[in-house]
Every structure is written in C-alpha cells, then in structure tokens.
Amino acid sequence: MNTHTYPRLVGDIGGTNARFAWVAQPGEAPADMAVYPVRSLPTLADAIRRYLADQGKPPPRWCAIGIANPITGDQVRMTNHDWSFSISALRRELGLERLLLVNDFTALALSLPALAGEDLRQVGPGAPAPDAALAVIGPGTGLGVSGLLPAPSGREWVPLNGEGGHVTLPAQDAREAAVVARLHERFGHASAERAVSGQGLENLYQVLCQLDGVPPRALDAPAIADDAKAGRDPQCMEALALFCAFLGSVAGNLALTLGARGGVYIGGGIVPRLGEAFDRSAFRVRFESKGRFTGYLRAIPTYVVQARAPALLGAARALDVLPDPPFVR
C-alpha cells in the first residue's frame, strides 16, 4: 500500500456548498466531514485552509476534489460559482504532492459500487443486470451527469466525464413545448439544467406564472417545493410536477445512451428531500416512455441516492484508480 501518500484530503465542491473530509491511512473511509457555503470563502485555497484549521489537521500529502465543473485543462472556472484557479498553482500554493480534480459527478459515479442498503431507495420496478453500465444524474445547483462502464477485465469500472446536464430539454406535449419555448427565449438554449436543478425549479415556476398570467411570488426552490408538496399553489405544484417529469425524460435518454442496464442513480441535493412526492410523480412513467424501448427501460432499476456525501467516497477512490491528466504540472 502507498502509505507515503497519506494523509489525504478529499473534497466535493458544488455551486452552493464545499464539503471536505479526511482519510488518515489506507483502508479508511473519509471521516471528519465539514461543510462550508462557497459564498462564505473567497477561494478554494481559503476553503481548504479553513477546513484544516477547523479540524486541526496537518497538511495533506495527496488531495482529490470533485467539483461541479468540466475539467478540460489546468485553468478551472466554475460554471455556477465565481471561483477560478489553476490546478498546478493551487497544488504548489498548498504544498501538496498530488492534487487531482475531477467532475463532481465523476466522483459520485466512482462511489456507486460501494452504495447499498440504506444508501439507496428504489423508485419503480427493475433489477440490475450484472456487469452492465451504471448511470448517475442529479439536480442540485446545476444538473450533474456521469456513468460507470465495466472495464474489459470485468474487475474495474471506467468513469465518464461529461456535461450531460446541458443537453437540450425535451418536451412531450403542448404545455411543455410552451414552457421550453419560454426558456429558450430567456436563455438562448433550453438545456435540461434550465429546468432540472434548483434554479431550474425557480425558472419553471416563473415561466408557468407568466403563461398563466399570474404574478410570481419571490420564492426560492425550497419554498416552491414546500408549497407544491402542501398543495398551496397551483403553479408551484405544476412546476414540481414538470421538474420530475423532465428529469424522468432526461434520465431515460441517459439510460438508453449508456445502455445503463445496471441501474440509474439519482443524486444531487434536491430529489432525496422530496421523499414520497418524488415517488408519486411522473418521473418513472416518463423514464420508461420511449416507444419501442419501453420494455427495455422498464427492466432498468432507478435509485435515489440517500447516502451522506457519497462524492467524498468517490473522490477518495479516484486517487487510487485515476491517473493525473496530461495538463497537470
């Protein structure tokens, strides 16, 4: 074992929160987790220093960060937050021997084989096919998408890096087409993330109020979800219904694209909080509604990920299974 690479710091950085945890030695699960609002700290380096100081930790040797952003070069500029940094400069600034950055949903994907029992809640029918691809999708501040493909050896998994949350949003009827048209007018491109995310739920509510000629209230996503579940507001109720239906359509497309007969996993911070309201929604019907491939999709299980900070587990695993990208200096 590479004991000289410990202790290790792992992180999960989204558009709202930064989570960190500590791996002291080989074989240990991430521990001593702490959460910080990203807007409370000016840089990622400041957030890491804050965690180390709060926890009384020494400088780590290796560090892996899952971040809600594509990693295509040394320079990282977050899509849903204003942090911007050079990976190589951050590594030198913090005195790290190794710093690995991956997309946050790539990290989440790497955690999937270790999740079971209370970590997951199945929605709808289906059973996982052995040695088949896994897919993961999750609305939070944005919409994350990834997957795991079985390696030819059958003993390892290959994670995918992509930005599937920005695929074009599909409409299934005239009402949805009107919503998508308004989103297109507003943003130039009606991506899935514009409807299936925290901001997306707010967008849906505002568009529905506009279509219905109702003045929108100043509601954030949690308030819209609460009013919808309580049946207090028709536009909130329809917004949440559309959110779940659109997620089902996009998740079904993802399952077909990857051949994800091993299961589709729903992560992110929103769906686990919806509870039975999500189970009763049109998600699963829309997931399966693919014409001639309805039977194919009906056999695929869908799970809500309920584990606490699973992306930290995936980030820890990334240090052992992923190489450094060629642009790291």
For the ranges 121-135, 151-165, 193-207, which has the lowest average pLDDT?
Answer: 151-165
Same domain? For 132 and 266 the reply is: yes
Mean pLDDT of the chain: 95
Residue 72's SS3 state is coil
Question: Distance between CA 276 and CA 264 in Å, rounded?
Answer: 18
Range of the domain at 228: 116-306
Residues of the binding site: 11-16
Same domain as 289, residue 260 = yes
Do 123 and 223 sit in the same domain of this protein? yes
Q: How far apart are CA 19 and CA 14, in angstroms?
A: 9
For 148, the enclosing helix (H) or strand (E) is strand 143-150
Provide the greatest CA pair distance for the chain. Answer: 64
| Same domain assignment for residues 135 and 63 | no
| Annotated binding-site members for ATP | 11-16
Does residue 328 belong to any structural domain of this protein? no
Backbone φ, ψ for residue 159 (5° rounding): -80, 150
Phi, psi at residue 226, to the nearest 5°? -65, -45
| Identity of the amino acid at 209 | C
Cβ atoms of 23 and 33 closer than 8 Å: no
Encoded amino acid at 161, one letter? N
Are 218 and 294 in the same domain?
Answer: yes
Statement to judge: residues 105 and 127 lie in one domain: no
Tally of structural domains, the chain: 2
Q: What is the pLDDT of residues 193-227, one digit of tens each?
A: 999 999 999 999 999 999 999 999 999 999 999 99
On whether the pTM is more than 0.75, the answer is yes
CATH number of domain containing 182: 3.40.367.20
Asked, for residue 326, whether it belongs to a domain, the answer is no
Q: Do the Cβ atoms of 179 and 211 come closer than 8 Å?
A: yes
136: nearest Cα among 152, 154, 120, 155: 120
pLDDT per residue as tens digits for the range 264-301: 999 999 999 999 999 999 999 999 999 999 999 999 99
Q: Are 302 and 315 in a shared domain? A: no
27 assigned to some structural domain = yes
